[in-house]
């Protein structure tokens, strides 16, 4: 027969074992819960990273630096040149980066040069060249890369008509031509850019013309873009000619008799032949959406006076009943409409109406 002291000892020992088992069970539950939480958190982070990577890949697949070349200019400096193509559906603003090694006071440090492309906005299915000029105390590390991509969902106004030859002109082997403003508003800070190629089709320079501060409607201005003298003898032709201009809103339209209206267009569209037709009291223009399947576009018009309800939309000669017209105040009309695939002619009627 066990003594009471031994029974008490065994009971206490049993209680301790039971308590230890409970504690171990609780600890195991906490460890399992922590492990599950960690796994869930890891899966979530990986999912976010994968989604981000996929989004970045999608953008990078549509915006690419096609090729890079280099040459020594007339001052012996290294030039890095190339072209960025926009194969996407949205206009973009691109900044190019290039890592360089600075050599000063027997020490080296890596810095990143950044510069925009020659075209401030690269519209879908177009490209723009770039150029880096490296100082003598610098050396290049790696190749140029896309530093930033900014989507710029603004319309493209086809209002500048270029007249030039792809063949180089004169002893400078320059790109020479004229730029005519065929639109109804002033164009500011206009320059023409292009890529220069040798007889083998290799890009050997990126050129940009003098800046034309203002081109008024109907005015034609001469431009010239001169390649570096070190490579100009090898220029065989120019390609990818494009236009860069000030992106200030073009919101004033002359409607005759000393009157004008304010307007604003939003949408990823190309606008052509934008003008006011006094015979029909309407704004007329051609439009094409950059999305092959078509897409939305909005137009805001501020008139001097008149009944906003008098405004109507005609597309391709037919009343466009699907357009949404909203009166924002006694003078302002906001119009939402869907632009189908392809090119279309739009007429906004009732512009002047009872304007004084």
The top-scoring range by mean pLDDT among 24-38, 48-62, 100-114, 178-192 is: 178-192
pLDDT in tens, 183-204: 888 899 999 999 999 999 999 9
Average pLDDT, stretch 258-283? 88
Both 260 and 345 in a single domain? Answer: yes
Residue 16 domain-assigned? no
Both 234 and 175 in a single domain? Answer: yes
Q: Is the pLDDT of residue 41 over 80?
A: no
Residue 191 domain-assigned? yes
Q: Is the pLDDT of residue 211 over 60?
A: yes
Q: What is the dihedral of CA 297, 299, 300, 301, to 10 degrees?
A: 180
Reduce the DSSP state of residue 34 to 3 states and report it. helix
At 60, the pLDDT band (50, 70, 90 cuts) reads low
Residue 231 domain-assigned? yes
Q: What is the CATH number of the domain that holds 140?
A: 2.60.40.10
Both 285 and 239 in a single domain? Answer: no
* pLDDT over 90 percentage in the chain: 52
Both 258 and 325 in a single domain? Answer: yes
Reduce the DSSP state of residue 293 to 3 states and report it. coil
Last residue of a domain, one of 134, 151, 168: 151
Q: For residue 315, what are the CA distances in angstroms to 280, 286, 347? A: 14, 10, 6
Both 161 and 90 in a single domain? Answer: no
Average pLDDT, stretch 193-220? 95
At 305, the pLDDT band (50, 70, 90 cuts) reads low
* Residue of 276, 312, 285, 335 whose CA lies nearest to 156: 285
pLDDT in tens, 78-111: 999 999 999 998 999 999 999 999 887 677 789 9
- Considering its fold, how many domains does the chain have in total? 3
pLDDT of res. 246: 77
Q: Is the pLDDT of residue 3 over 50?
A: no
State the Cα angle at 198 between 196 and 201, rounded to 5°: 90
Residue 314, domain extent:
252-349
Both 343 and 276 in a single domain? Answer: yes
Last residue of a domain, one of 97, 128, 151: 151
Residue 312 domain-assigned? yes
Average pLDDT, stretch 137-149? 93
Both 234 and 259 in a single domain? Answer: no
Both 126 and 176 in a single domain? Answer: no
Average pLDDT, stretch 280-285? 91
Both 113 and 176 in a single domain? Answer: no
Residue 260 domain-assigned? yes
Last residue of a domain, one of 190, 218, 244: 244
Residue 163 domain-assigned? yes
Both 134 and 218 in a single domain? Answer: no
Residue 31 domain-assigned? no
Determine the Cα–Cα distance for residues 231 and 221; give it in Å rounded to an integer: 27
Both 145 and 162 in a single domain? Answer: no
Q: Is the pLDDT of residue 247 over 80?
A: no
pLDDT of res. 306: 57
**Cβ(345)–Cβ(315) under 8 Å?**
yes
Residue 72 domain-assigned? yes
Both 259 and 337 in a single domain? Answer: yes
Ramachandran angles phi, psi of 232, nearest 5° = -55, -35
Average pLDDT over all residues of the chain: 82
pLDDT of res. 253: 83
């Amino acid at each position: 027969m066990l003594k009471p002291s031994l029974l008490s000892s065994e009971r206490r020992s049993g209680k301790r074992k039971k308590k230890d088992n409970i504690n171990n069970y609780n600890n195991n539950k906490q460890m399992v819960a922590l492990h599950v939480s960690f796994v869930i958190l890891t899966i979530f982070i990986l999912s976010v990273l994968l989604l981000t990577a996929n989004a970045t890949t999608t953008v990078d697949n549509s915006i690419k630096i096609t090729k890079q070349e280099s040459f020594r200019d007339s001052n012996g400096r290294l030039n890095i040149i190339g072209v960025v193509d926009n194969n996407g559906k949205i206009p973009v603003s691109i900044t190019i980066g290039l890592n360089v090694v600075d050599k000063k006071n027997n020490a080296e440090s890596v810095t990143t040069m950044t510069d925009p492309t020659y075209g401030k906005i690269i519209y879908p299915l177009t490209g723009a060249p770039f150029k880096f000029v490296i100082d003598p105390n610098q050396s290049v590390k790696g190749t140029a890369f896309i530093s930033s991509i900014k989507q710029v969902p603004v319309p493209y106004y086809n209002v500048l008509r270029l007249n030039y030859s792809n063949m180089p002109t004169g002893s400078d082997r320059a790109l020479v031509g004229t730029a005519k403003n065929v639109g109804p508003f002033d164009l500011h800070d206009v320059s023409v850019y292009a890529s220069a190629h040798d007889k083998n089709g290799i890009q050997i320079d990126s050129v940009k013309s003098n800046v034309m501060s203002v081109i008024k409607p109907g005015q034609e201005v001469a431009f010239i873009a001169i390649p570096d003298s070190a490579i100009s003898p090898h220029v065989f032709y120019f390609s990818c000619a494009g236009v860069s201009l000030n992106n200030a809103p073009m919101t004033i339209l002359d409607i005759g008799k000393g009157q004008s209206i304010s307007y604003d267009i939003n949408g990823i569209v190309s606008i052509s032949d934008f003008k006011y037709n006094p015979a029909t009291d309407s704004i007329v223009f051609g439009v094409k959406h950059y999305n092959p399947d078509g897409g939305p576009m909005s137009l805001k018009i501020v008139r001097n006076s008149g009944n906003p309800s008098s405004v109507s939309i005609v597309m391709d000669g037919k009343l466009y009943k699907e357009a949404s017209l909203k009166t924002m105040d006694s003078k302002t009309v906001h119009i939402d409409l869907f632009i189908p695939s392809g090119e279309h002619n739009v007429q906004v009627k009732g512009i002047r109406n009872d304007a004084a």
